[in-house]
Amino acid sequence: MVDLRRCQILGLAGTTVLAAGGETAGALPVRDLLNPASAHAAVGLIGVYFGVVLLIAAWALLGRLIRTPERPTPRKLLLVLVLWATPLLLAPPLFSRDVYSYLAQGAMVDAHMDVYAHGPAQLGGPLADEVAPVWQHTAAPYGPVFLAVASALAGLTHGELPAGLFGMRLVALCGVALMAAALPRLARHSGADPAAALWLGALNPLVLLHLVAGAHNDAIMLGLLGAGLVAALGRWPVVGAVLVTLAALVKAPAVLGLAAVVVLQLRAGRSPTKAVLATALAAAATTVAATAVAGTGYGWIRALDTPVSPQNWALTSLLGRATGALLEHLGSDLAPLAVPAWHALGLALTSVLVAGIWWRLRPRPVYALGLSLAAVAAFGPAIRPWYALWGLFLIAAAAPTTSVRHRVAAVTGVLALATLPSGGPADAAQLVLAVSGGVLAVVVLWQAHQADRAPAWGRTA
């Protein structure tokens, strides 16, 4: 039998175990890094994947519960989110080292360095040492709004790493809180179930693993985007355009949200000319003001072309590397052009898909925006598991059918297992340990399920 208390306890156990495992297997500061082959790191890795599988199971059971007459209210679901997230607040960074890059870039802005011309290596010192080597000489790919937040945090924490990590996680939590607040309102507008929207869009394991535990700035982008759409649903389309623009000045994909703001105005009876002009003027004014306040200049425009990691597993990057290897084997001089060509093709395909989505789904702007952001993530030159949340957040709010939610949930379950807690590449030994942790969790869950199904006389015999 599924009940809310059981889901709460199982999910809490999952996040507690994975947070504990992260103490030895997470994306630790350089001075605390353990040899991946050490016993402590091995036990930690097993523990993390044990906890992740428990969390996924708790989330799946909760999804079953919201389809029953005993379904929890949105308020109770928000309390579950708080409960599950609590053990992750003091855990080390998990599944990525990006948070160290955020802190180093914030310190650079605070020191009046040009983050769009230099990488963290220019900063030097302990913070720069924490940044992954592949990004040491890479300019910041983020907008002035996020860099202003990171700079303010750097000033408050004076470069102290524990305080900076905790502060960046609090910033991400603010973004998650905005997401959770926006989902029920967006769902009601779209004719979807608010409880199902919260389950898929806020209690999602990817949110907990990557936005909370990983402290990714995608949380701020999505929170501001959701808040902007909620404002545009009401009588404040200009406020909506401002908030969506601020989201885009954290990470660029959110700029597609301005199309939804325009469509929502059209549906409210505003003329196309007025809707487009009001949105464009609000976006332009916000961009100028935010860039001036941040003091970073307009280098963020060229940062949109920041290079991707050479081993990125985006579809177009994989095809580009495979094509390049084939051309090189054939002795062709075109091999170096393979990856750029596939990236260009991916961008062209994305443009076509986004145009088609909006043409067919104009009456459903929130859903159209979710699908558009999913296309950007899927066919862009770079992808990470948390990029799936760009589209998933809004698809959760506006999914037209239960089957759509089920398919998205299945993708979530796979992606939740796709990254090591250290954020680095996996070797064979680490894969074995990770699989062992997941299998152990499945065995425990199965034994608990069998014990639950046993008749009362059998349990007391």
pLDDT tens digits along 358-397: 998 888 999 999 999 999 999 888 888 999 999 999 999 9
Rounded Cα gap, residues 344 and 352, in angstroms:
13
CA–CA dist 97, 120 (Å, integer): 13
Coil vs helix vs strand at 142: coil
212, amino acid identity = V
pLDDT, residue 219, reads: 97
pLDDT at 133: 85
Write the Ramachandran bin of 125: left for phi over 0, alpha for psi from -120 to 50, otherwise beta.
left
Q: Is the pLDDT of residue 459 over 70?
A: no
Q: Average pLDDT, whole number, for the chain?
A: 90
Integer angstrom CA distances of residue 280 from 147, 233, 261, 275, 341 = 23, 17, 10, 9, 32
User: Is the per-residue pLDDT at 461 higher than 50?
Assistant: no
Distance CA 136, CA 130 (A): 9
Contact between residue 372 and residue 355 where contact means Cβ atoms under 8 Å apart: no
Q: Which two tokens mark 176? A: 């998650």
pLDDT, tens only, 221-267: 999 999 999 999 988 999 999 999 999 999 999 999 999 999 999 98
pTM given for the model? 0.93
Please report the pLDDT score of residue 308 as a whole number: 61
